Amino acid sequence: GKYNAEIVPVTVTTKKGEVIVKEDEEYKKVDFEKMKTLRTAFLKDGTITAANASKINDGAAACLLMTTRQAADELGCKPLARIIAFADAATAPVDFSIAPALAISKLLKLAKVDKNDIALWKFNEAFSAVALANAKLLGLSLDKMNVHGGAVALGHPIGMSGARIVVHLCHSLKTGEKGVAAICNGGGGASSILIEKL
């Protein structure tokens, strides 16, 4: 469905022959009954379990960035979106999960864009609480956030998650709409990007 335009089939050779990977596999592994019995991951009385945390998955992503529309035209490339601005921010490592709110606040101020002008928000969610906490801090509507799921549903292939959320945001927006993607890291930092669909 929603991710078909973003996925490029890959042929993998195994001992049993060639296998074509052409869809996400994570959603097929969901066991709703088992979720009720999972222990918390970090604190005895905590809320984070394997069910509301992202899975470490394999994956790869690619984005082709062009400096001018003319360069894209010369190469026969049809741009999906343009980057309006980007920003980074950091906080104490223990508070890494709320760093995206800092990066986004800086981003919107830099771009002189109001949060109400943003059609969609895409947060990488190492844990469900990451997206929820940042939405609360920024006063965002959950109806516009991670509308097709995020890393909890799809997995979190380290090193490609940022590219994945930006590519999905490009495909999810309608022409002329603006979207913001953000990702945090375990060291307390976060990056954010504001794009406009072409």
Least confident among 59-68, 101-110, 118-127: 59-68
pLDDT at 28: 74
CA atoms 75, 23, 146, 144: torsion sign: positive
Instruction: Read off the DSSP letter of residue 48.
Output: -
Cα dihedral 76, 81, 84, 87 sign: negative
- List the domain boundaries for the chain: 69-197
Amino acid, res. 166: V
pLDDT computed for residue 139 by the predictor: 97
Per-residue model confidence as pLDDT tens digits over 141-150 = 999 999 987 7
Determine which helix (DSSP H) or strand (DSSP E) holds 152, and give its type and residue range. helix 151-154
Which parts of 112-150 fold into alpha helices (H)?
128-138
Task: Quote the DSSP letter at residue 187.
Answer: T
Taking only the tens place, the pLDDT of each residue in 51-75 is: 776 777 777 888 889 888 899 999 9
- Given a contact cutoff of 8 angstroms between Cβ atoms, the answer to whether 161 and 136 are in contact is no
pLDDT of residue 194: 99
Q: Which CATH class is domain 69-197?
A: alpha beta
Average of per-residue pLDDT across 31-41:
81
- As beta bridge partners, residue 196 has 82, 178
Q: What's the rounded Cα separation, in Å, for the pair 103 and 35?
A: 33
Residue 186 φ/ψ, nearest 5 degrees: -65, -15
What backbone torsions phi and psi does residue 146 show, to the nearest 5 degrees? 45, 50
